[in-house]
Every structure is written in structure tokens, then in C-alpha cells.
Amino acid sequence: MQREIRREIFSLAIPVVFSSLLQRAVNIVDIFLVGGLGASAIAAVGIGQLLIFIVMALVWGLSAGTTVVVAQLWGAQRRNEAAQVGFQSILLGALLGVGISVAGFFLSQQGAIFLGARSDVLVLTHPYLRIIFSFFLFALLVNLLSAILYGTGDTRPPLHAAILMNILHVAIAYPLIYGLWGAPQLGVMGAAIAVGISEVAGALYLLIIGFKKGYLHRGWVNHGLMRQVIQVGLPVFADRLLQQAGQMMYLKAVMLYGTVAYAAHQVGLAIEAFSFLPGLGISMAATTAVGQRLGANQPHQATIAHWEANRLAIVIMTVMGLVFFFAPYLLLRIFTDDPEVIRLGTSFLKIVAVLQIPLAITMVLSGSLKGAGDTYFLFWSTVVGSWGIRVPFAWLFATILKFDLTAVWSLMVADWFARMSILVYRYRTERWQDGNLVRAYAEDPRPLPAQVRPAGQAITKNTS
């Protein structure tokens, strides 16, 4: 059984890793493509992406709640209700998306000013954000539809959508930014249009897959199950919002050490993504595997799924940590040849190497507890780790005590050890094993529609 679960975790995680990598690639490619327009264009797109990232916290909360409830219903062989919850989440998400689009369209300038955009950047950021927010509904749908598919264990279609979106993005963005091959020269607005069109394509593709495979189905509204979606999602929303705000405050403390320090920090984070993204994929796999088994009233198998995911994450992220520690120069040279950035970046990567094991444990615990719908401790772990340790002490070290930059960076280790300790405590209480969120709600007595897969199908099977 352990070997089967291990294979399942691996097969679930790999598509999520590459999907996450490709989703980040859209942002990276945007920055790269507008680089020829100058520093103001780069700053405009960067600030725009940061604002969207903050707003997406709302979406991530709804997505997390949907994944958990769909996974538990899927594991309980209540596929019809899982498809109905997916569809109802899409309707709720559409209302949320329209509201955010309208607010973002009219308030994007104020948001950019709040994030520090100067006049030369603001004149570019404002139209960029207006276009991005005009397409925001489709960005939300891509995220939410992916969450539904993750809940069913079918993690490949989101990867296919990400590939499609990246191809379209590059094909449309490059000529629109620079006015090539008869296209109008639109600069940063061309980049925004390309992002929007690629999101429309990704959303339509996932909608077609969702209905075709029976992951979405119109039906009666189960208010109890939708209440569970919201109750699971709200702490995740608060957690992500606090996390993003904490990252911004921490980054501002790092920026007090100068441009070179900021550059080393950003390059270091880009390199660390090669460890973080596999951890993210394994965390999502843990959410699906644990959620499905708790829905099937199999807490022992849910425990096995957690430990298999934990073992895989520790192995992969420890290996990456060793690379960060012993070969930082080789990695940094890929991104820069500035000797000062490399010198500081070496210190950053060695510190990051130390936190890979607590980071791996925390990420998998986060995924497993989400699968059980136990998300409140995730929020409190962020409160303690980020806002109790990292942010206040970073500002104390940087402004009053005048410690060097390595002391500020070392706070990342303390942050993740604190979060790990809180989540380990919660996990060891074993209360999460009672996290069957769907048992209390009556099963829809109506028969499954023909397109929904038969209830006897194994949980671990991936049909795409």
C-alpha cells in the first residue's frame, strides 16, 4: 500500500510542479520581453504583477476550499456532488471575479501609487493594470478550475492549459510590444493584452475539460457543502494576505541595505524556486491524497499519504539545499556576473540551504492539514512566523541594531522553524484525522449523469 501511495503522490505532484513553473514563466517572460523598453517599463510590469499577486489571495482562499471539499467528496465516491460543488464554486468565483475586475479597473492607479509607483512608472502601470483587470475573471477561472481538477486527482489538464497559455503569450506579446509583423506597437499594453488572451484560452480549455470529464455539473445547491468551502477557504485567504503583506514589509527592510542587496535577494529567490516549486507540487498532492482518504473514512491511509509526501519533499528539498550550500557561485553566475551580487547571493543561498528541511516539512503539513479542512492553524503559523518573528526583527536589525544583512536573512530560518513547530504540534494532536467535512451532509439521491465516472473507479487513477 505504501508503494502505491508513494507512486500516487509522485504522479500527482509532477504536473503541479511544472504547472506552477509555467505559471511563473508568464510573469518572468513579461519582464524579459518589456526589458527592451527601458527601466520604467520593467518597473511598471513588476508593480502591476505585484498588485495582481496581492489580489489573488481572495482567489486562493476559494480555490483551497474547493479543492478540499471536492477531494473529500471524490474520495467518498460522491462524484455527482463533487461536480456540483465545482460548478457552484465557479459561479461564486465568477461573481467575485466580476467584482474584482470592476474595482481593479477603476482603482488600479491608486493601487500602483500605494505600492510606490512614481510618475514615469505610473503612466505605464495604469493602462497595463486596466487591461489585466479587464481579463481578471479568466485568470480567476484558470486558478479555480485547476483547483477543482486537483481535488479529483486529475492534475494533467492544468499543465496542458499552462503550456497553451505560455505559447500563446509569447506568440502574441512579442509582436504587440514592439510592433512587429504588421502588429501595432503597444509597449507594456501589448504585454497585458497577451496575458489576457492567453488566460481566456486557458480558462476555456479547462472549462471544456471540466464538463467533458464530468468534473462540473449543474445541480441543486448544497448550502452545507458550500459553507464548508468558505469555512476552509477564509483562513487560507487570510493566511495568503498576511503572507504577501509580510513579504512586502520584509523586502522593504532588505532594501534598506541598498540596490545590490535587493538584487541579491531577488536572484536568490529565483534560484530557490527550483526547490520551492517541487515542494509546492508535493504539498498539493498531499492535499488531494489526504482529502480523498478522509472523505473515504480512511484516516490510517491518510496518515500514510502524509508521511510519504513528507519523505519525498524532504529528500528532494534536502538535495537542492546541498546544491545551494556547496555550489552557490555556479547558480548565481547563471543570473548575474556582478561580483557584489554574487558575494551577497552566496550568503543568501547558504542561509536558504539551512531552511530547506523545515520548509519541506511545513509545506507538506500545510497540504495535509488543508486536505483535512484544518486551515486555522496555517493562519496562526503565519501570524507567529512572519509577523511575530521575521518582519519585526528584520526592521529591528536593519534600523536600530544596525546588524548586517546576513542577520536579517537568518530570520527566514527562524520563521520557518516556528511555523513548522506550530503545525507539527497540530498534526500530532491527530484531531485532523476527524476532518471528514462531507459526512454530515446528505448525499444527493439522484443518479450520476452519464459523463461522470463510475463510483467504483479507484481513487488513485488519473484519466488524462
Task: List Cβ neighbours of 233 (8 Å cut-off, separation of 6 or more).
Answer: 61, 62, 63, 64, 65, 66, 375
List pLDDT tens digits, range 225-250: 888 888 888 999 999 889 988 988 89
Q: Which of 10, 85, 62, 123 is nearest to 444 (CA)?
A: 85
Predicted TM-score of the model (pTM): 0.85
The pLDDT tens digits along the chain (464 residues) read 778 888 888 888 889 888 888 887 887 788 778 877 777 787 788 778 888 888 888 888 899 899 998 999 898 888 888 898 899 999 999 999 999 999 988 988 888 887 777 777 788 888 999 999 999 999 999 999 999 999 999 999 999 999 999 999 999 998 998 888 888 888 889 999 999 999 999 999 999 999 999 899 887 777 788 888 888 889 999 998 899 889 888 988 998 998 788 888 878 888 898 898 899 999 999 999 999 999 889 999 999 999 999 999 999 999 999 999 999 999 998 877 888 989 999 999 999 999 999 999 999 999 999 999 888 999 999 999 999 999 999 999 999 999 999 999 999 999 999 999 999 999 998 888 876 677 666 554 444 444 444 333 444 434 33
Instruction: Return d(Cα 399, Cα 78) in angstroms, integer.
Output: 56
Q: Which of 91, 103, 93, 104 is nearest to 52 (CA)?
A: 104
Q: Which of 438, 448, 447, 327 is nearest to 71 (CA)?
A: 438
User: Residue 105: how many CA atoms within 13 Å on its side-chain side?
Assistant: 11
What SS3 state is found at 463? coil
User: Residue 125: how many CA atoms within 13 Å on its side-chain side?
Assistant: 30
> Where exactly are the structural domains of the chain?
13-221, 235-435
List pLDDT tens digits, range 376-410: 999 999 999 999 999 999 999 999 999 999 999 99
Task: Tell me the percentage of the chain whose pLDDT exceeds 90.
Answer: 49
